[in-house]
Amino acid sequence: MNSTCVSYFILAAYFDTGLFKYVIFLTVLCYYVLIIVANMLLIVVICMNKSLHEPMYLFVCSLSVNEVYGSTGLFPLLLLQTLSNVHTISFSLCFLQIYCGHTYVCVGLLNLTTMSYDRYLAICHPLQYNTNMTSKKVAVLIALSWLFPLLEIVILISLTLSLQLCGNVIHKVYCDNFSVVKLSCSDTSVNNIYGLVFTVIAIIIPFVLILITYVRILIVCFSGCKQTRQKAISTCTPQVASLLNFFFGVCVEVLQSRFDMNGTPNILRMFLSLYFVTCQPLFNPLMYGLKLSKIRNMYFRPTS
């Protein structure tokens, strides 16, 4: 069976919940609406208030746009699968979901990288901040954080589409690239090499850069006065929390993809599959909305 003969994939992580599926559907629907509302509110608040047209808030806005994009790539199909008794997904929709999911991860990580760079300049080189972080540079950084992953994932999916597939069962509640590659009965060496290069460029290098950046920020903070430390901690806390949550989700996703989890209870496998693509989109707007004072004041500005 080659890839041209596979017309659909079976998502085997779903299990029969009986009438309880309607409760699950309503819960997932409410959660999806909450994600969209929270992120759109953050986007509108930043876009409509000129006082928030600063680099840090523009990066936060870009991050929220990505959360809306990533959630929309998963939740509509997840809602349909929740109500369906036959858990299948068409070949084209599966690869569309792969594209959305992988670009969501890469764009999110690059956004966090640019945000850490912004905080590094603001805290470690405050006098040169306005010179170094111009509006043009902000636009270029945001554009690159979106364009680079969009092109990078095209190559990844093109390599997967060229494979011959000997099965169509994916042990998850959504499609991901490695799960499809594991179904191949042809040589996957090129896919594995590109996958390794992709992982280094898209995940490891940004992670190392973020780590170096925050180490340097901490050094400056602890060598400065109390006021400097407090200001740095208050602006960096949301980004560090978002980063930790992001990488916890990535680690969970990698462990699921690389290791056999057939012995794991279905409900736990489903939760682990959904953690990364459900917790992060709601975590970010709540964290940035509550922890960054300017945004918090816009959210909860008292009415006269």
pLDDT tens, residue by residue, 145-193 = 999 998 889 999 999 998 888 888 888 888 888 889 988 888 888 988 9
Give residue 238's identity as a one-letter amino acid code. P
Percent of the chain with pLDDT over 90: 23
Q: What is the C-alpha to C-alpha distance for residues 93 and 96, in angstroms, rounded to an integer?
A: 5
pLDDT band with cut points at 50, 70 and 90 for residue 298: low
Q: Where are the beta strands (DSSP E) in the chain?
A: 8-11, 88-90, 169-170
- Closest to 172 measured CA to CA, from 251, 255, 70: 255
Kindly report the length of the chain: 304
Domain 8-299 fold is Rhopdopsin 7-helix transmembrane proteins (1.20.1070)
**Coil, helix or strand for 1?**
coil
pLDDT tens, residue by residue, 70-124 = 999 889 988 888 888 888 899 999 999 999 988 998 998 899 899 889 988 988 8
Residue 164 gets the label, from left (phi > 0), alpha (psi -120 to 50) or beta, of: beta
**Coil, helix or strand for 84?**
coil
Mean of the per-residue pLDDT values for the chain? Answer: 82
Half-sphere exposure of residue 217, counting CA atoms within 13 Å on the CB side?
Answer: 27
Q: What is the C-alpha to C-alpha distance for residues 164 and 5, in angstroms, rounded to an integer?
A: 9
**What is the residue extent of each domain of the chain?**
8-299
User: b vs e for 221-253, b when ≥16 Cβ sit within 10 Å of the residue's Cβ?
Assistant: beeeeeeeeeebeebbebbbebbebbbebbeeb
Predicted pLDDT of residue 8:
87
User: b vs e for 67-101, b when ≥16 Cβ sit within 10 Å of the residue's Cβ?
Assistant: bbbbbbbbbebbbebbeeeebebebeebbbbbbbb
- Closest to 273 measured CA to CA, from 147, 101, 87: 101
Largest CA distance in the chain: 68
DSSP characters over 15-72: ---TTHHHHHHHHHHHHHHHHHHHHHHHHHHHHH-GGG-SHHHHHHHHHHHHHHHHHH
Residue 90 has φ and ψ, to the nearest 5°, of: -65, 160
